[in-house]
Amino acid sequence: MSMSNNAVVSAQQVLSNGEPCVLFQARKLSLRYEKQKQLDLTERAFSPQQPVDTSQSVCRQDKATLIMRFGDVEDFRGLSIRLQLSKTFWESSGQWWFSVDSVSLVYNSSEEAVFNASEVFAPASSSYHCDHVSSLQRYRALLLPSNQHAQRWSLTFTNFQIQAFNVSSGSFSPASVCSPVLTPAILMGLITSLILLLVLAYALHMVIHLKHIEHQDQHKAHVYYPPSPERCCVENDDAEKNILRQEEN
């Protein structure tokens, strides 16, 4: 997936035996510590003229770590960003998938802010693309803080694309695009709304049905049924017989 024309970026690579194992790029990388000013690391992370240090990155058969070392940035010493990736065979789909397990900010020698990224995954034969992979709620918060340090940071990748363990020709495969619509919260809301709608429809149906039955009962109570001719004739015959018996006596 190509980046916009006004952003010149190069994909970061992790090599395994001289071959690309991980490809990663983003149009923008920004982060903020508490209420300090936003830091834009895009040029330092993806500039083809000044490539960031990724020499400590590693890739194995089913695990990989992409490490981008930025050095001192503002008040933070030795700032680096780490993406932990893994590959898993999912029996339900019958194929291999790769996932970004976590994204970490390491700074000031020993401090580390860790974000879980459980929803960032794709088939191993594809790349993964999302407009925003971020810790901010307005961007769906695909990065979830997993320790106290992470709660002080906000981190956003814009036009995020990554592929791992099955990179061919040094380029991205067709992308599996993240869905901005059916998040778990939205999906549960839709299911709850559907259940409530069904309950309401059933309740309305029962009210209408009961009113219809009540109307029929009221109508029957006011209907006059004349006696049948056969019953009238039988009653007259019985009266005549009684008169004859009295005369004979």
Q: List the chain domain ranges.
A: 12-178, 189-248
Through-space distance between the first and last CA atoms of the chain, rounded to whole angstroms: 119
Q: What is the DSSP letter of 6?
A: T
Q: How far apart are CA 46 and CA 120, in angstroms?
A: 20
Match 């010149």 to its residue by tokens. 8
**Integer angstrom CA distances of residue 73 from 69, 77, 78, 79, 147:** 10, 6, 8, 7, 22
In degrees rounded to 5, what are phi and psi of residue 8?
Answer: -95, 110
User: Can you give the pLDDT of all 249 residues of the chain as single tens digits?
Assistant: 444 434 456 789 898 888 899 999 999 999 999 999 999 999 999 987 777 899 999 999 899 999 999 999 999 999 999 999 999 999 888 999 999 999 999 999 889 999 999 899 999 999 999 999 999 999 999 999 999 999 999 999 999 999 999 888 788 999 999 975 444 445 466 678 778 888 888 888 778 877 777 777 666 655 555 555 555 555 556 666 666 666 665
Out of 1.10.357.10, 2.60.40.10, 2.40.160.110, 3.30.1330.40, select the CATH number for domain 12-178: 2.40.160.110
Q: How far apart are CA 21 and CA 58, in angstroms?
A: 9
Q: How far apart are CA 243 and CA 67, in angstroms?
A: 121
